Structure 1
Amino acid sequence: MNDRQKLMWRISMAGFAIDDVKLFLNTHPCDKAALEFYEKFRDTKKQLEKEYTAQYGPLRADAVPVSDRWTWADNPWPWEWEA
């Protein structure tokens, strides 16, 4: 696994943790530990995505810098491991 793949894996793990705790918070909205967990992993995921974007390009179309042309369709796509 190369560095790009490792970073994507870490982003995916943080996203899973966020999704999981959101489900818990739906039934336990006042749980302080769960809220802290959510904030921690939300911040972690944001930082990892920022790092990925700086090194490899945007992960989502809403993070594409606007210039004289639309660059989202330029290769490689974030999910293309071999790129």
Structure 2
Amino acid sequence: MPTSMPDDYYRLLHDLQAVDFVLVELTLYLDTHPTDEEAVKQFNHYSSERKKLKKQIERSYGPLQQYGNSYSATDKWNWSDGPWPWQV
């Protein structure tokens, strides 16, 4: 059952997905061009951007990933608070 979230949530999630796409593409490129310094710089830049976006989303809306990949945003376990990214 889809859940409605604030517009900011969708914007942030869209930005995170775009950065993830760039990181996948850069990873594939770097697998075959490991000495391309500019591509490595781009990868590091987008990796840093991803961390910032993920932290911003989780601070406002709760964890995105499980199994130690996301901290609980409060002193209580909030993984079950949802909605989870695939529910919106």
Q: Aligned with 1:41: secondary structure?
A: helix
Return the alpha-carbon distance in structure 2 between the equivalents of residues 36 and 75 of structure 1.
35
Return the alpha-carbon distance in structure 2 between the equivalents of residues 36 and 59 of structure 1.
26
Residue 78 of structure 1 corresponds to which residue in structure 2? 85
User: 1:26 aligned to 2:52?
Assistant: no
* 1:64–1:71 Cα contact (<8 Å) kept: no
| Amino acid in structure 2 at the alignment position of 1:19 | V
Q: Aligned with 1:24: secondary structure?
A: helix
Offset, 1:67: 5.8
Unpaired runs of at least 5, structure 2: 1-5
Which of residues 33, 49, 52 is equivalent to 2:54? 49
TM-score (norm 2): 0.80
Offset, 1:76: 1.3
Q: Which has the higher contact order (CA 8 A, sep 6+)?
A: 2
Matched length: 80
Runs of 4+ in 1 over 3 A off after TM superposition: none
TM-score (norm 1): 0.84
User: 1:60 aligned to 2:71?
Assistant: no
Unpaired runs of at least 5, structure 1: none
Return the alpha-carbon distance in structure 2 between the equivalents of residues 46 and 8 of structure 1.
13
The superposition leaves residues 2-47 of structure 1 with CA deviations (integer Å, 9 ceiling, x where unpaired) of 1100100000000000000000000000100100010010000000
Q: Percent identity among equivalent residues?
A: 30
* 2:30–2:36 Cα contact (<8 Å) kept: yes
